[in-house]
Amino acid sequence: MTKVMVAIASGSEEIEAVSIIDVLRRAEIMVDVVSIEANKRLDIVASRGVKLMADIHISEIDAADYDMLVLPGGVPGSEAFRDCESLIAMLKQRKAKQWLAAICAAPAVVLAEHNLLGDAAVTCHPGFQQQLPQNQLSVDRVVVDQPHKLITSQGPGTAIEFSLALIAQLKDQDSADQVAAPMVLA
């Protein structure tokens, strides 16, 4: 079964986190919501005050078990990801078969900061685009770079589109379309 890790931290963007989790689960993809909080805390307060509960703590997972690692954006959530040594180690040790996905501030604040973009085409929230390599920057809402197994997107307004792109890569476009139809996206 396809398995995805969605990291959360205090200050993560709730629309992005919940959209990703929800849409992937609609596609019958197994999703572990993983907290990076100190003291193995599973609960977080997201960027707009919404309380979220993780399934498991980062100290209890093996990143190699996942087909995709996903980072919602938001500030200070993305900054917490950037500063989490165990998460960064997992991202740097990502297997060639694993996808990496990030939205909003996360592509710039986390991936660019730790040189995890390679020469992939990328996007992020317009407010952070100056932090990305300009020769790799796309203004598209969602960017799928298949050779680098990297998917990036711009923000809360693109979260469902981003999530459907994740399904299309993990499964296929037909699966993404089947999830989109009852959500009245077409």
Give catalytic residue positions.
104
70 contacts 6 by C-beta, under 8 angstroms: yes
Task: Report how far apart the first and last C-alpha atoms of the chain are (Å, whole number).
Answer: 28
Q: d(Cα 164, Cα 162) in Å, to the nearest integer?
A: 5
Could you tell me which of 143, 120, 146 has the C-alpha nearest to residue 133?
120
Phi, psi of 177 (to 5 degrees): -65, -40
